[in-house]
Amino acid sequence: MTSLNGILPVWKPEGWTSHDVVAKVRGIVREKRIGHTGTLDPQVTGVLPLCVGKATRIVEYLQELPKQYEAVLRFGVATDTEDSSGTVMERMDAAHLTEERVREVMASFSGQIDQVPPMYSAVKVNGQRLYELAREGKTVERKSRTVTIHDIEVLDMNLSVSEPTVRFRVTCSKGTYIRTLCVDIGRALEVPSTMESLIRTMSAQYTAEQCYTIEQIQQAANEGSVEALLQPVEQAMSHVPALHMLDAFAHYAVQGRGIPFRACSFQPLTNQLYRLYDEQEAFYGLFHVPAEDTCLRPVKVFLPSTT
């Protein structure tokens, strides 16, 4: 059986954990080496790229890329989980909110912001998951984290009710809690708020249109065509600049030897990651120049025959 290597963009169904998806796909494609690129809560649907086979070696890079979501924020109600799955803790009439004020406040959350992780999250404090403490009825102090909101866009609003809603799209950095963003927006407007629903529409540059459902993956496995669903490693790393080397030095890359600058298409920068290709456009992996070095060195090698 041919070894499977590449990125499989999956559309995560509601009610499944990210681990459930990984376990299911492992069983379908019969490949143990599968890792996901960022956890989604069970009630959240959306884009969940899986790294299969040798592609698991780039999970760390894909996890760092921005993610995009579409969320519905409900004003006038607050829950203990910061989303609609929790117990209602507070209610108030928020019909006084105006479109101008809501847009103004939401726009103010663009850029770097500080967030306090919610109690119902997987963050560890003193070795314990916060959600475990929350289930015991405990609340502990959490350190705030700086995250980046690259873009936030209002898609539509319904403000003519006591519990107004806003549907918005947000592009953000790794580690951003959209639930907490919803709560913080409400706090800035001086009303309770919660996240009603959430869909992840982009992760690791993959969009909803590029994703496959579990049923489609199962059908491909039945037909023996799973390999055709996989995206190549080099495509997944397309955000990293490309560098070419002379064919005469290709064996240096394979052997893990330093490649001199004279063999490169341009002089690489120190501590910058590059996708390395030969003159025939064969992909050799990820390389960089360590500090105080004068050669290009391997970080993750992917031989052309195995990409």
pLDDT 10s digits, 250-270? 999 999 899 999 999 999 999
pLDDT value for 306: 41
Choose, from 41, 247, 278, 293, the residue flagged as catalytic. 41
278 is catalytic: no
List pLDDT tens digits, range 93-138.
Answer: 999 999 999 999 999 999 999 998 776 666 676 666 766 766 767 7
Q: Which pair of tokens denotes residue 291?
A: 């500090």
Model confidence pLDDT, tens digit, residues 60-96:
999 999 999 999 999 999 999 999 988 999 999 999 9
**pTM for the full model?**
0.90
Q: What is the pLDDT of residues 2-35, one digit of tens each?
A: 689 999 999 999 999 999 999 999 999 999 999 9
124-182 pLDDT tens trace:
766 667 667 667 677 767 788 999 999 999 999 999 899 999 999 999 999 999 999 99
Q: Look at residue 110 in the predicted model and tell me its pLDDT.
A: 97
User: For residue 307, what pLDDT is reported?
Assistant: 38
